[in-house]
Chains A and B, each alone.
Chain A
Amino acid sequence: MNVQIDEINPDILVMSLGGDLDMSVSPEVRKVLLPLFRENVSHIIVDLKDVGYIDSSGIATFVESLQMSRKTGIRFSLAGACPKVEAIFDLAHLKSIFEMSPDVAGLIEGEKGR
């Protein structure tokens, strides 16, 4: 799995994932994702556009991030999920609890107006 962190500006971090997010790699993703919830960050976006499959350990990793988001007040969003990945969130009854956007650009554009 490819993991890349881009700092759009000091406030917004984008974590881009590529490949399948399953039990063999989700501990690695978690190790990178959790420390991003730090001071001076206002918004963390995970870009899923190059993720073809996500298993329940991947979704659980994002649920934990959402818990962190509630604790810290840092906004947490998912972007670019393909229909197959979205359907997996849906089946887990977790699509609605995440802020999901078609793409990262839209989220960043939205930030400008905030």
Chain B
Amino acid sequence: MRLGLETLIEVKNLCKSFEGRAVLEGINLAVERGSVFVVMGGSGCGKTTLLRNLIGVIRPDSGQILVGGEDMTQFDENRMDGYRKRFGMLFQMGALLNSLSVHDNIALPLREHTKLDEKIIGVMVKMKLELVGLRDFEHLKPAQLSGGMQKRVALARALALDPEIVFYDEPTSGLDPVVTGVISQLILDLSKRMGITSVVITHDIGSAFMIADKMVVLFRGKVVAEGTPDQIRNSCDPLVQQFINGRPDGPIPLRQSSRDYLEDLLDI
């Protein structure tokens, strides 16, 4: 194991509701510096809401998110700006700007946030593209690339400012097995060799077990299991087993409706 000893991100008792519906109900987790931390769970389990809290897009109703010991949920806009420069974000759909070339998409955060010369930015864009294996594609527009290539360009852009933390939202969704392997290996390399702390939100079980130092399983806004990939794999919890084996029914119900069907029909 290569786990660091220092906790970089600590989520304490995080709660968030939307219109009275609790989406996160007291989440606790700790991410060690330089590690790959995977948050797994099915659709609607709260993992995207957790991610949006972690990147400061929404604020929790209660609880804390300590980053390097400081509660980022209390940051004012100025401090939040500083925090945003410390992390990169790989969005599920890539979120590239279609009107800009690959080069300009990656250069954008460097032009916005640094005083680097264009020549240096030019070299850095090539370096980031080399990291994701797409160096000869910088003059193309995102629409001219495949979905997997767009994801890699988006990763290059997430890495533009040499972030300390990278948040990945479903990094392998919609990708073929080879590209999934490439992205997973990149996440591992960036973490192992450059010490980047990775928080990966995914329901791709194969990728999760390949890259995680530690993982949590979310269900209905709560952490129902946490541990190393081996601990999760060997968990006796039927809910965890259902999730990792993709069984259609079990503790995670096939039917999500809580009201009785007949009652619902006759009660109109």
Contact = CB atoms under 8 A, between A and B. Distances in A.
A88 B128 CA distance: 13
B194 interface: yes
A16 B189 CA distance: 30
Interface stretch (B91-99, B118-126, B222-230): B118-126
A22 B128 CA distance: 16
Chain A, interface size: which category? 20 to 34
Contact of B120 (A64, A92, A94): A64
B116 A26 contact: yes
Majority DSSP secondary structure for residues of B touching A: helix
Q: Name which of A26, A55, A57 has the most chain B CB atoms within 10 A of its CB.
A: A57
B55 to A, nearest CB: 21
B130 A93 contact: yes
Contact of A60 (B127, B131, B161, B189): B127
B76 interface: no
The DSSP consensus for interface residues of chain A is helix
Nearest to A91: B193
Sort chain B's interface into a size bin: 10 to 19
Contact of A55 (B131, B162, B193): B162
Contacts of B119: 64
Contacts of B189: 91
A76 to B, nearest CB: 15
Nearest to A62: B123
Given A56-B124, A56-B127, A63-B123, A87 B117 contact: no
Given A87-B193, A91-B189, A93-B130, A60 B115 contact: no
Interface of B: 114-117, 119-121, 123-124, 127-128, 130-131, 161-162, 189, 193-194
Interface of A: 22-23, 26-27, 30, 55-57, 59-61, 63-64, 87-88, 90-94
